Amino acid sequence: MHELKLRVFEANMALPRSGLVTFTWGNASAIDREQGLVVIKPSGVAYETMTPDDMVVVDLEGKVTEGQWRPSSDTATHLALYRRYPSLGGVVHTHSTNATAWAQAGRAIPALGTTHADYFSGDILCTRALTQSEVETDYELNTGKVIIETLGETEPLYTPGIVVYQHGPFAWGKDADDAVHNAVVMEEVAKMAWITRGINPDVQGMDDYLMNKHFQRKHGSDAYYGQKQGR
């Protein structure tokens, strides 16, 4: 697991470097599907002192199999997503300012332009509120469940992020680095949407045909953005 622990450590260190995390307000994880093991940041350990050896390894039921620390308090949320969506390889949670503001407002981050559509096929959804019972019993697991409820049967890599009502953003990807990348994009498009709505409160969502063009040219079966592998 050494290589995966190193990649997860680097993903976690990228969060404050990218301006997504203050103090210890965030975590990143990745999964080894063959072994059924997840590597995640330890709970409450300062980024300034953290090392790859501080990463915690858990199985898909949350049992610690390696590490000296308790895993992130959000571990159960990460595990719920990995169990439900086999395409996920990495998950990130932050309290980044702009995406969290949309979560606190209880609003989806609207798709208003091509920057958004290059990564997200539609609005970045906001979950419903958790009930008092869901918060008081298995809170982190129920956070994962409400994300899954909101996404439904959607392929999560087509909408690689969500905002949890009154909480904050979660993002994911094919691996930990991809999840961090998507978390950065989500924060940027959250800021763009806020500014755009300030300029024009009556702005409507972007045209479907333009959204589809931008998403498909990067992610579709005939994608042509970027270079062919090996070129």
pLDDT digits (tens, 9 = 90+) for 68-125: 999 999 999 999 999 999 999 999 999 999 999 999 999 999 999 999 999 999 999 9
Q: Tell me, what CATH number does 32's domain have? A: 3.40.225.10
H/E/C letters for each residue in the chain? Answer: CHHHHHHHHHHHHHHHHCCCCCCCCEEEEEEECCCCEEEECECCCCCCCCCHHHCEEEECCCCEEECCCCECCCHHHHHHHHHHCCCCCEEEEECCHHHHHHHHHCCCECCCCHHHHCCCCCCECECCCCCHHHHHCCHHHHHHHHHHHHHCCCCHHHCCEEEECCCEEEEEECCHHHHHHHHHHHHHHHHHHHHHHHHCCCCCCCCHHHHHHHHHHHHCCCCCCCCCCCC
pLDDT of residue 226: 66
| Total count of domains within the chain | 1
Let me know if 118 is a catalytic residue. yes
Residue 5 one-letter amino acid:
K
Q: Note whether residue 171 is domain-resident.
A: yes
Residue 103 lies in a domain: yes
Task: Clarify whether 47 is annotated catalytic.
Answer: no
Whether residue 30 lies inside any domain: the answer is: yes
**Residue 222: its pLDDT value, please?**
75
**pLDDT on residue 230:** 43
Which pLDDT score is estimated for 229? 56
Task: Give a yes or no: residue 206 inside a domain.
Answer: yes
Residue 231 has pLDDT above 80, yes or no: no
Residue 227 lies inside a defined structural domain of this protein = no
Q: Which two tokens stand for residue 141?
A: 């697991």
Averaged confidence pLDDT in the chain: 95
Residue 219: predicted pLDDT: 73
pLDDT at 36 over 50: yes
The range of the structural domain enclosing residue 149 comes to 2-219
Report pLDDT for 227: 62
Residue 230 lies in a domain: no
- Mean of pLDDT values over 52-62: 97
Determine which one of 118, 123, 139, 158 is catalytic.
Answer: 118
Residue 231 lies in a domain: no
- pLDDT score, position 215: 85
Q: What is the pLDDT of residue 217?
A: 87
In a domain, 228, yes or no: no
pLDDT, tens digit (0-9, with 9 covering 90-100), for 158-190: 999 999 999 999 999 999 999 999 999 999 999
Nearest in space to 14 (alpha carbons), one of 28, 25, 24: 28
Q: Tell me: the pLDDT tens digits for 185-229?
A: 999 999 999 999 999 999 999 999 999 999 888 777 776 766 665
